[in-house]
Amino acid sequence: MHSWSAFSPEANYAALASGSGPASTLAYAETLSAQAAQVQAVVAASAASGAATYGTTWRGVGASASAVAQAALDTQHELLAAALLEKASHVAAAAGAHQSAVASMVTAQEAVANRRDEATAQQINPLVWGALTPQIVALNLEYYGQMWPRNAAAGAAYGAALRAAAAAIMVPFPPAVAGGSPAAAARGWPKPGRSARPGQPCRPVSKARTRSSPRQPSVPGWGVRRRRRWPARSQRRRPRIPPRRRPRPPGLTR
C-alpha cells in the first residue's frame, strides 16, 4: 500500500500523472462490455431457436428434457453476461477514480515553483534584514498546509477506490452448467482405470477376470525364483589349453 502522506506533493502527482493513464483500463472495460453483448446475442438466438423447435417440430420426452437443459444453459449465459457488465462498470469506475484524483491534485510544477520561491527568499532574507520573513512563512504554509494534505488526500481516495474496484472485479463468475444434464454433473465422469457397461456401476479393471490372465495353480513355491546350484569345484570341467609349440630354428627342415 502506497503511503501518500509520506511523500511530497510533487512526488504524489508524478506517481499518478507519469503513467500511461486510464486508456488501457477503459479499453478493458469496453472489451468486457462487448463480450457481454455477444453472450446476450447467443442467449437471444438460443431462445428463438428453442421457441421454433420445442412443441412444434419436436415433441415428446426427449424434447422436454432438451428444453430443460437449454433453459439451464440460457440462464447460465444470462448470469455470465450480467457478471461481465458488472465487472466492466467497476473497471470503468477505477479509471474514473484515476482521472478525478489527478484533476484534484496540485500539479508538480506548482509545488516545485513554491519550493523554488521559498529557497530564493531564504537566500535574500538575511540581506534585507528579515524583510522577506512573512513571504517565507506564507510559502511554507501554502506548501505544507495546503499542497501536501491536498495531494495526499487525493491519492488516498484513489487508493481506496482502486482497492474496492479490484475486490469487486476479483469476484468469481457463476459456476457453469456441466453439459446439458445436471444429473451427469452430479454423477461425474468415470475415474481412469475403470470400465462399466451401460446401466451397470463402474468397477476396477484390476478386479475383473479376463481370459488373457488364467488363474495360477495353487502349488507351494509356484512363481518363486529358485537359486541356481553350481557343481562342486572337483566336478567342474577345466578348459582345455592347447600345447605350445616351440619355434623351429631357421634353416631346419625335416
Domain ranges of the chain: 11-170
pLDDT higher at 88 or 207: 88
C-alpha to C-alpha distance for 65 and 30, rounded to whole angstroms: 37
C-alpha to C-alpha distance for 71 and 65, rounded to whole angstroms: 10
| Dihedral, CA of residue 248, residue 251, residue 252 and residue 253, to nearest 10 | 120
pLDDT for res 3: 87
* Per-residue pLDDT at 230 exceeds 90: no
C-alpha to C-alpha distance for 64 and 106, rounded to whole angstroms: 66
* Per-residue pLDDT at 193 exceeds 50: no
pLDDT for res 33: 95
Contact, 55 vs 20, CB < 8 A? no
Return the CATH class of domain 11-170.
mainly alpha
**β partners of residue 203:** 195
* Per-residue pLDDT at 89 exceeds 70: yes
What does the longest C-alpha to C-alpha distance in the chain come to? 142
* Per-residue pLDDT at 204 exceeds 50: no
134-151 average pLDDT score: 95
The 10s digit of each residue's pLDDT in 92-133 is 999 999 999 999 999 999 999 999 999 999 999 999 888 999
* Per-residue pLDDT at 202 exceeds 90: no
Closest CA to 76 of 183, 68, 91: 68
The residue to which cell 540581506 is assigned: 127
- 3-state helix, strand and coil shares in percent for the chain, rounded to the nearest 5: 60, 0, 35
The residue to which cell 450480467 is assigned: 82
Q: Which band of pLDDT confidence, cut at 50, 70 and 90, is reported for residue 225?
A: low
